[in-house]
Structure 1
Amino acid sequence: AEENILIEGVVTDNGDISLFQINGKDVPLMADGTFSHRVTVAKGNKHYRLYAVDSENNSTKKILKISGITKKKPYREKPQYDSASSRPSLWVLTIGVSKYSNPNLNLKYADHDALSMEKIFKKLRKGIFSEVFTRTLVNEQATRGNILQAMSTHLGKAAPQDVVLIFVAGHGIKHTQTGSYYFLPHNADSRNLLFEGLKWSDFEEAIKIISKNVSKVILILDTCHSGAINIAMRGVRSGEDLGALMKEATGLYVLSASKGGEPSVEGNRFRLPGENKGHGAFTYSILKGLSGEANYDKNSYLTIGELFSFVSVQVPRITRGQQHPYSKIDGTDLPIVKFKK
């Protein structure tokens, strides 16, 4: 007889952890060092080797002994919701700027990233959300004024039980004097940053206003310097039942493309099957994760925590260590995709 069990824990170090494995298999760590990994064990005793390496190549290992596995009734998901009307809606705002008023700033794939994120959430809405309401601003549409207006008028329609998702792709820049993080809308550059740039405090203020009505906000940033944003966070709690998770989940979920000072890599090689245009490495990894690759435990739904863990491992691999995503979860884990069994 075999049993599927979940190993959870935390890895701590004075520096950064560069590698963590269980029985030779890479296991992703959350930003706070926590991990969650499912294994299948036969009835009886089993030993697992936990191995970690930090950024200075110091290593440590621990042997975990699992014993006394007993047979139990298999877990079955409870009905999620009584009707479609009782399920939450998803309100999506995607922003991508490839073409700037200053052509020296032009990118290749940020607009495609935003359009693809909108498309995949429309496609994956069944099972979790009753409806998906999207608004996308790309290139000339993505001015500072239009972005702030969309946050207010579009996302402001979300009901308390709904989920809000904001995706931003383009140039991020730090002010040379203040060190503040700015996103560059279409008509902004380093010369008019104070007037046309979108400061992090603008996002923060908009999120505060949204959060008065909505308790679940997801912010995804595919820009340079996005990891430099500092947000105070609390711990994470997880659960099993999808319906309960959706109803109980609260918090701010932030995933950014790179740590402070790192580039945000893009390229034509980062293409999904059937596409003829590439993506940023970060967005490419998110799209793959949402399509099912991030569903580590192979159950019927994907959570934000699983997606963040997948992206944190995938991006450094495909960028050859140039880029390391940064993530924080303030609140409980949140299901976002339901798969057919």
Structure 2
Amino acid sequence: MYLVMRIILMMACVFAAIASHGQSITRTPLYQEGFDSGSREWSHVTIDDLGYEAYINQGKYVCRLPENNSMGWAWTFVSLPDRIRQTVDSNSKIDLEFDWTVTSNRDDSRIGLMFDTYNIRDGCPGGDFRAILFEGDGATLETSFSQTMNCNRDLKWIIDGTDTEDRPTNHVKISKDNYTWTVYVNGKNVLDFNYSGSMRLAQLNYGRGTYLVDNISIYRKNLSVAPVASANQQGATTSSSNPRIWILLAGIDNYLYQTPLNYTVNDVRAMYNFWTSASGGRIPRNQIVLLENQEATVDNILRNANRLFSQASQNDIIITFLSGHGGYGSFASHDGTLDYQNLNVIINRSNARKKLCIIDACHSGSFSRKEVLTSRGETLDPDQSVNLFYAALSRSGDGIAYLLACRANQLSVESPELQHGLFTYYFLEGLNGAADTDRDNLITIQEIYSYLARRVPAYEATQNPELQGTYDPTMPLAVIHK
């Protein structure tokens, strides 16, 4: 058995809202710098023997390296404020914008941002840096993504961008979208690249000459979902009918930018087979979307969730099941990082009052009890079991529950022996009957948690599932048939 970056987050969320259709990106300001002369965040540097300076003057940040400095340096750098670095590093979707003006040595200008890959941001030697650089000659501006080892001032070019006009003042926008970076100069797309490793914003790089930096802004990009007609207006199932179940599954073993996993596709295929069986409610195949590996991109997951869940009525239940790598507040899709908040925009705006989100990845109103619906120990045929399942689902309350595969400081495991993630294996085993402790043929959320809390740590002592939230403990997740 070996540990992988996995945790299960299982949410049944309640929000009755307008169904959604269509997606757009909005921006939330996170940082804006007007360069107040009293600012303490920005470095103030003076090195007399070099004439090297960095300071705030008249609402701009001034960086100067004399053309004939005593060390013969072609460029140097100054550390960026912690607030800027932390804002860029901690958000997976941001736009960083700034203006820069060259007031001397414009025919050989150079400015850029340096990113540290070994978390040694402020000292040399020892760093391994990547840099987004802008170099101009007064007529043409070149953009590149470069590398420097141990602060060596001879840079290795990795990717050359598209040349553009070098203006007296240039406006730069650097757009980060998970592992994809896009650079714009004066509104023109000049550079695109993917970088999957650690890349932490560290320093402002500048060459010989005097530079004025101004109008620094950072924006977080948000997914916005536009409302459409509700499911009932579209002729969806009404409350007099059995609830319908809409399910999105995505599992990724093979990634563009992450180490591979082994059994996540097994997990989602097994869940698909369960939900299309009598025990899982015989969900019609046109109400389930299954995405595997390269199909499970950030855009494809969000697009299919939006399309599928906008069809649900208030009487329905929507289920999301994601299996793969994860981090705090995010899930690793095939091509990048999917923020849970963007997925929740779609989930929360669906008309469905019962919402279940199961996320198998690392770092993971009220209810009233209902009477038992069948005699203890009674055996049912498949048709009877399906009828029982939907009757119990209709009677259960709305609410929110979190079923976590492990505590926040724990990892979940994959098991070569079981050919599944450990949580998913016992989750399925419980749904197929092992968790039915009162022998009423229904597997409730409380029963499945009690089963997981017993079986998972018995297999792996460092993994302890948790159940949180306000929920109906009798909410059915499965039904048993003979």
Please state which band the TM-score falls in when normalised by the shorter chain: 0.5 to 0.7
**Cα displacement (A) at 1:207:** 2.0
Amino acid at match of 1:140: Q
User: Is the 1:219–1:255 contact (alpha carbons within 8 Å) kept by the matching residues of 2?
Assistant: no
C-alpha change, 1:325 and 1:138, in structure 2 (3 Å) is same
For 2:343, the equivalent position in structure 1 comes to 203
* Structure 2 CA distance for partners of 1:236 and 1:248, relative to 1, 3 Å: closer
Scaled by the length of structure 2, the TM-score of the pair is 0.44
2:357 to 197, 219, 223: 219
Match of 2:247 among 79, 92, 115: 92
TM-superposed deviation, 1:154? 1.2
Map of 1:264 onto structure 2: 412
**Separation of aligned partners in 2, 1:328 and 1:203:** 20
One of 296, 316, 330 as aligned partner of 2:457? 316
Q: CA deviation at 1:113?
A: 0.6
SS in 2 for 1:123: coil
Distance 1:86 1:330 in 2: 26
Q: Name the larger-Rg structure.
A: 2
Q: Does 1:238 align with 2:378?
A: no
CA distance in 1, matches of 2:451, 2:253: 26
Which of 425, 436, 447 aligns to 1:295? It is: 436
Alignment partner of 2:400 out of 246, 252, 256: 252
Contact 2:407 2:465 in 1 (8 A): yes
Distance 1:330 1:214 in 2: 17
* Cα distance in 2 between the residues matched to 1:326 and 1:143: 29
Task: Kindly provide the amino acid, as one letter, of the partner of residue 283 in structure 1.
Answer: T
What is the CA–CA distance in structure 1 between the aligned matches of 2:433 and 2:402, rounded to whole Å?
20
What are the equivalent positions in structure 2 for 1:74-223 lying under 5 Å apart? 86-102=241-257, 104-124=258-278, 131=284, 133-174=287-328, 181-188=329-336, 197-210=337-350, 213-223=351-361
Q: Distance in 2 between matches of 1:182 and 1:91?
A: 22
TM-score (norm 1): 0.61
Structure 1 unaligned regions, length at least 5: 1-84, 175-180, 189-196, 227-233, 271-277
| Cα RMSD after superposing both structures | 2.2
State the AA in 2 paired with 1:252. Answer: I
Return the offset for 1:334: 1.2
For CA contacts below 8 A with separation 6 or more, give which structure has more relative contact order.
2
Deviation at 1:147, TM superposition (A): 0.7
Q: Which has the higher helix share?
A: 1
Q: Of the candidates 462, 466, 475, which is equivalent to residue 326 of structure 1?
A: 466
Say how many residue pairs are matched.
224
Who is 1:31 aligned against? none
Query: SS of 2:276's equivalent?
Result: helix
1:130, CA displacement in angstroms? 7.0
Contact 1:252–1:329 (Cα < 8 Å) also in 2: yes
- Distance in 2 of aligned mates of 1:245 and 1:90: 10
Query: For residues 3-61 of structure 1, what are the alpha-carbon distances to aligned partners after superposition, in whole Å with 9 as ceiling and x for unaligned?
Result: xxxxxxxxxxxxxxxxxxxxxxxxxxxxxxxxxxxxxxxxxxxxxxxxxxxxxxxxxxx
Q: d(CA) in 2 for partners of 1:107 and 1:218?
A: 24
Task: Note the alpha carbon deviations across 1:135-162, whole angstroms, 9 max, x for none.
Answer: 1111101111011111110122122211
Cα offset, 1:269, TM superposition: 1.1
CA–CA separation in structure 1 for the residues paired with 2:299 and 2:439: 42
Distance 2:327 2:370 in 1: 38
Q: What secondary structure sits across from 1:239 in the alignment?
A: coil
Counterpart for residue 304 of structure 1:
445
Judged with a 3 Å threshold, the aligned counterparts in structure 2 of structure 1 residues 136 and 244 are, in CA distance, closer, same or farther, namely: closer
Change (3 A) 1:328 1:203: farther
Structure 1 position 118, deviation (Å): 1.0
Shift of 1:186: 0.5
Preserved CA contact (<8 Å) 1:296 1:306: yes
